[in-house]
Structure 1
Amino acid sequence: MTDEQKKKLEQKLWDIANTLRGKMGADEFRDYILGFIFYKYLSERMNLYADRILAEDGVAYTDIAEGQPHGDAVLDAVRDAALEALGYFLRPSELFTAVARRGAEGQFILGELQTILNNIERSTMGTESEEDFDHLFEDLDLSSTKLGRAEEAKNDLISRVLTHLDAIDFALDDADSDILGDAYEYLIGQFASGAGKKAGEFYTPQEVSTILARIVTTGKSRLRSVYDPTCGSGSLLLRVAREVGQVDDFFGQEMNRTTYNLARMNMILHGVSYRNFNLRQEDTLEHPQHEGMLFEAIVANPPFSAKWAARPVMLSDDRFAQYGRLAPASKADFAFVQHMLAHLDDNGTMAVVLPHGALFRGGAEGAIREFIIREKNWLDAVIGLPANIFYGTSIPTCLMVFKKCRETEDVLFVDASGCFEKAKNQNYLREGDIDQIVSAYRSRAVVARFSHAASREEIAGNDHNLNIPRYVETFEAAKAIDLAAVTADLRGVEAEMADIDAQLRAFCAELGLESPV
């Protein structure tokens, strides 16, 4: 698919999404359209898989006679195979295209559509994939009055949306194509751009995700595991997979139930097998779901300066005990850092987005920074990002990179605050900006007014304050003024003015007027 075709597809999907927009808020119509796209994906994947295993018998899946003894026997065999391979099952009459066609013909489909979505979840009960599909479609409330007051109006609206989606070919039979995955990411980004402050709950701008992903995959072509303790829609985990040859397993935790559902859909839709992702819904700091596990790569964009419990009893928690201090209850930034470091494997890399205040605030945060740097030597780099690049906030942010087995004693500081293009409502990083930042991290080259390698002694001399201007000098001295040249220029101007004055007096004399000069 060419870039032009891709843009047309994305615009078409956005237009379909906007069919629902007048009826409800952005968060709500996001859940409906992404849910329907996911249902279409599951249907097409089921159809392709069933056709493939039935090919030897010369039978098409949609031609199987449901309700007939022979047909039901075949469906039972297909169900067993599909639950093992795909993790779910859909009957031919439950496929997206079949339902969309019935809706286009004027049939009432709302009731059976809700039943089908429930059946997808029920088909996994008692199987290995049950937890990954549990309540996956709970945000698609087809009885909501926001779809219309009368049942006929709701049915008409949903039928039109399904019909439009049914006309789009997502090319799932092309193993080298990820059209649907790209389109899904596009829509998530579009919803984020219009969601204001809430966008930060489920989406990290793609440019920032790319930097994080490239940093944690530096020097590697395969990762055993990648973890995001505040995984949102899962886009950051998937971005890591794009930047490396292979990721064996994905792990994540998300507190918001709706966003957690979105993350699971996103994983499956990008072809990640239910066996290869382990996402959990809970408060990461209060109820960690992956205790005792170590990960080769960790990425995160936690909520900036969020509140958390910070109860004294937590000092006995293995994640926080060795520091002797807890992050303040009003700012959980370093609580997330401590949690992530507890899960970082010795050969792993961790990259996290934090507000600038985490670099220099004192008290408990200062003590935690000092312990990480002085006692452990785990801090690898600090990268300052431009302001106004995150949805819902204009504050400048930074990336902190950590490693437990570092090859160097110094800490790299990068000031990338000027690496952006200004857009109408938000700044964004260009591809060249991304390349420059990642290259600076990987090469650890010292570049005037951009990067600096600071020794731990230098950092200690600054009381472990990591504020980037202390290490990267961005001041540019003004060019020296050549006073002699300026004087010569002024004399030249005066001579020109004298000639002009003389001409003006001559003109006035000819006209018999008094000269003004």
Structure 2
Amino acid sequence: MDITNETNKYQAQANELSQKLWAIANDLRGQMDSSEFKNYILGVIFYRYLSERTETYMKEILENDGLTYGEAFESNEFRPVVEEWSLSKLGYVIKPENLFRNLIRKINKFENDDDKFSVEDFEKAISDLTGSTMGHESNKAFDGLFSDMRLQDTRLGETVSDRTEMISRVMNRVADIDFDLQDSQFDVLGTAYMILIGLFASDAGKKGGEFFTPAGPSKLCAMLAASGLDEAKTVGDCTCGSASMLLEVQKHLSTHKVGHFYGQELNATTYNLSRMNMIMHGIDWQNFDIYKGDTLKDDRYGDKLKLTIQVCNPPYSLKWSADKKFLDDPRYSGPGKLAPKGQADLAFVEHMIYHMDDSDGRIAVLLPHGVLFRGGAEDAIRKYIIKELNRLDAVIGLPANLFHGTGIPVCILVLKSKRNGNSGNVLFIDASKEFKPGKNQNILEQKHIDKIVEAYEKRVDIDKFAHVADMNEIIENGYNLNIPRYVDTFEEEEPVDLNAVRNRIKELDNETQEAISKVEKFLKELGL
């Protein structure tokens, strides 16, 4: 499928999803705000996915036995076997009666039917699913995944009957979404999250910027980090949000092979979303580890983990303690100074450098421009990264207003543990004019991304766009990386015809004097 058709397909899916979510959101509005009810919608979408994945897998493995999943589960001989298969492959078990399709069937039974659906049926189904992972290694991937979907919350409804009616409506609407949830290229949860945030931005706080990197910058980072690689042993994102950037990397490896994904996320709701997203993109529970915690204070990766590729969009200019005890942390000890209390940006970069694979580690990280030129401790850290480690490979300036919740222009730092013949220079790219203007924010389109990636890979000077700076240039600039020092984007203006300007000024003076004379004449006639 070519890029245009692929884009059209996903846009159609997103539009379909948007319409359905709008209908669900309208059902729930008035009960609670969007920051809460989105958890119910996403939870139901995810449960539907897990259910359909179970059905697809069971149909596949039971085909030669001539049994349905329901029949196999009723058999004393087959039940332990299919449970073991489900746990080892999928990481969980959904009983046949708890399949999403069967819950929907119960919801839509006649009122006088004894086997009528209750919200408690859905609670039990979720409890059974998460309970099936207990004592199993897959529990790390599924534990607490549905904790934000509080089915006993009175805001969903005062009584069991009210909550049943409300969750039934949500489940029926989700069942009505007509696209293939097995399509691992379409980011259903991430897209749904952003649509919900957009529908009710007034009560959405930071409007989603903290957990979701827009598609353009995300794809650009992934392509830069994956450039020249067929596969990656390990891929990580230390502030992974919804895991959209982690998942994007895999698409841009020529074999699409990643040995293991790693991530860390502080926000509990977003931590759940990232694990859901990994699973919904077909990443087996054995092949990812997402940790919850504060990356700067608590390095959940441990001392030994080394990563082939790292992408990251950390919170910009985050405040952190900068406690002197961190000078003993091997991630931050090298420069002898800590990133400032009000700007932890370079602390995230140091964390990533510490976890680079020494043989061929790569990093592409989105940061505010201030990291390029601010003085003090940041100057010392920059100098250490460039001079002592020699891992900075490229600096790329992006347009303003690309991100949710902030209009500032950002840059991408590309770092490599092996510079492959480029250890004596750093590439600078000024891509600040590469965007399509949008109503609420600017858009980095595929043509802009391709132009930047091509310039990165060719690594030659391009007038007013790219410059390969020799290390001596950087030293002469005192390790200041501000892009205009290296890429001259000055556009010479057309010369001004001073005689024409003087003549026009005289014409305007004459016109003004004529107008004043007319007004004075009228005033005189009126006796004023």
TM-score, scaled relative to structure 1: 0.88
1:189-228: CA deviation from partner (whole Å, max 9, x where unpaired): 3245444525122111111000000001101121111100
1:186 to 191, 202, 208: 191
**How much has 1:424 moved relative to structure 2?**
1.4
Q: Which residue of 2 aligns with 1:500?
A: none
Call closer, same or farther: CA 1:482–1:261 in 2, change over 3 Å: same
Q: Which aligned pairs between 1:199-218 and structure 2 lie closer than 5 A?
A: 199-218=208-227
Instruction: Assess if the C-alpha contact under 8 Å between 1:17 and 1:30 holds in 2.
Output: no
Q: Verify: 1:448 aligned to 2:456, yes or no.
A: no
Instruction: Assess if the C-alpha contact under 8 Å between 2:275 and 2:290 holds in 1.
Output: yes
Q: Distance in 2 between matches of 1:8 and 1:314?
A: 47
2:32 to 5, 24, 31: 24
Q: Which aligned pairs between 1:369-388 and structure 2 lie closer than 5 A?
A: 369-388=382-401
Q: Which residue of 1 aligns with 2:106?
A: 102
1:56 to 47, 54, 64: 64
Q: Which residue of 2 aligns with 1:328?
A: 340
Q: Distance in 2 between matches of 1:113 and 1:100?
A: 10
Call closer, same or farther: CA 1:205–1:47 in 2, change over 3 Å: same
Counterpart secondary structure, 2:209: helix
Call closer, same or farther: CA 1:295–1:478 in 2, change over 3 Å: same
Q: Distance in 2 between matches of 1:310 and 1:8?
A: 45
Counterpart secondary structure, 2:451: helix
Q: Which residue of 2 aligns with 1:88?
A: 92
Call closer, same or farther: CA 1:196–1:462 in 2, change over 3 Å: farther
Q: Which residue of 1 aligns with 2:137?
A: 128
Q: Distance in 2 between matches of 1:22 and 1:214?
A: 43
Q: Verify: 1:222 aligned to 2:234, yes or no.
A: no
**How much has 1:338 moved relative to structure 2?**
0.5
Instruction: Assess if the C-alpha contact under 8 Å between 2:103 and 2:117 holds in 1.
Output: no
1:220-267: CA deviation from partner (whole Å, max 9, x where unpaired): 121111100000111110011111121111000011111101000000
Counterpart secondary structure, 1:345: coil
Give the number of aligned pairs. 481
Instruction: Assess if the C-alpha contact under 8 Å between 1:310 and 1:327 holds in 2.
Output: yes
Call closer, same or farther: CA 1:87–1:30 in 2, change over 3 Å: same
Q: Distance in 1 between matches of 2:353 and 2:152?
A: 45
Larger radius of gyration: 1
Q: Verify: 1:364 aligned to 2:366, yes or no.
A: no
Q: Which aligned pairs between 1:236-255 and structure 2 lie closer than 5 A?
A: 236-244=245-253, 245-255=256-266
**How much has 1:41 moved relative to structure 2?**
0.7
Instruction: Assess if the C-alpha contact under 8 Å between 2:72 and 2:82 holds in 1.
Output: no
Instruction: Assess if the C-alpha contact under 8 Å between 1:307 and 1:330 holds in 2.
Output: yes
Call closer, same or farther: CA 1:192–1:323 in 2, change over 3 Å: farther
Call closer, same or farther: CA 1:65–1:466 in 2, change over 3 Å: closer
Q: Distance in 1 between matches of 2:195 and 2:60?
A: 35
Q: Distance in 2 between matches of 1:123 and 1:480?
A: 76
1:41-85: CA deviation from partner (whole Å, max 9, x where unpaired): 11111112222222222111134575xxxx344322211111011
Instruction: Assess if the C-alpha contact under 8 Å between 1:320 and 1:338 holds in 2.
Output: yes
Which moves more between the two structures, 390-399 or 440-449?
A: 440-449
Instruction: Assess if the C-alpha contact under 8 Å between 1:99 and 1:109 holds in 2.
Output: no
1:293 to 293, 297, 305: 305
Q: Distance in 2 between matches of 1:335 and 1:210?
A: 24
Instruction: Assess if the C-alpha contact under 8 Å between 2:397 and 2:431 holds in 1.
Output: yes
**How much has 1:172 moved relative to structure 2?**
5.7
Q: Distance in 2 between matches of 1:437 and 1:140?
A: 42
Q: Which runs of 5+ in 1 are unaligned?
A: 495-517
Q: Which runs of 5+ in 2 are unaligned?
A: 1-5, 508-528
**Which amino acid is 2:435 matched to?**
F
Instruction: Assess if the C-alpha contact under 8 Å between 2:24 and 2:173 holds in 1.
Output: no
The 4+ residue runs of structure 1 with deviation greater than 3 A are 62-66, 167-173, 191-196, 480-484
Counterpart secondary structure, 1:223: strand
1:132-176: CA deviation from partner (whole Å, max 9, x where unpaired): 111111000011222233332221121122122223454467xxx
Counterpart secondary structure, 1:249: strand
Q: Please tell me the root mean square deviation across aligned C-alpha atoms, in Å.
A: 2.2
Q: Distance in 2 between matches of 1:8 and 1:475?
A: 42
1:394 to 402, 407, 410: 407
Percent identity of paired positions between Structure 1 and Structure 2: 43
Instruction: Assess if the C-alpha contact under 8 Å between 1:388 and 1:426 holds in 2.
Output: yes
Counterpart secondary structure, 1:401: strand
Q: Which aligned pairs between 1:414-429 and structure 2 lie closer than 5 A?
A: 414-429=429-444
